Amino acid sequence: MLDPLILKLVSIGFGLLLLLAAVHKLTALPKFRATLTAYEIMPGALIAPASILVPIVEALLGAAWLFNIAPTFVAMTTAALLGSYLFAIAINLLRGRIHIDCGCTMGTAAGRDQQLSWGLVARNSILIYGRTDRNRTHDRTSHRIGGLRNAGGRLAGYRIALRLPQISC
């Protein structure tokens, strides 16, 4: 099993990421609805309910990460949520629609929306892969031999993922 400190840091990271994303969406609900509409992924009738449901799910998942509630379910649900974001971004990139606000710009100045890029797809892929840290188990031998390497690689991946939004692909 990975060092409990590493697992706790990953949990805190995902918890804060999801809680901040939820607050960002809920405090700018009209903008989030416009972003969902711009993706052209779901029927118009689902935009209003989804614009409320998505941040609520993010907030619940964020709290669950922070308070270690149902870790396996939370990790898998987080991966599914990030996977849905990855899918929506990739579909629009393949359609050639890069001038859409990704909906993930937290704490930036007004008018500085982050457009879709393959870097966002890569970032979400790394985060989906990384969420498995929470429930990863190893026998003693593999933990001693590979545990530190795996943890170090994932932490490096998180650092890369945090910088990827700045990469325009």
Domain range holding 142? 4-166
pTM, entire model: 0.71
The pLDDT value recorded for residue 97 is 79
Measured distance CA(102)–CA(120) in Å, rounded: 8
Determine what percent of the chain is predicted with pLDDT higher than 70.
66
Report which listed range, 5-19, 104-118, 148-162, is most confident.
Answer: 5-19
Closest CA to 53 of 36, 70, 40, 65: 36
Q: What is the pLDDT of residues 71-104, one digit of tens each?
A: 989 988 988 898 888 888 888 888 887 788 766 6
Where residue 39 falls among pLDDT bands split at 50, 70, 90? Answer: confident
Please indicate whether residue 125 or residue 149 has the higher confidence score (pLDDT): 125
In total, how many domains does the chain have? 1
The pLDDT value recorded for residue 96 is 87
Phi, psi values for residue 41, rounded to 5°: -105, -35
For residue 7, give both structure tokens: 């697992």
CA within 13 Å, CB half, 73: 7
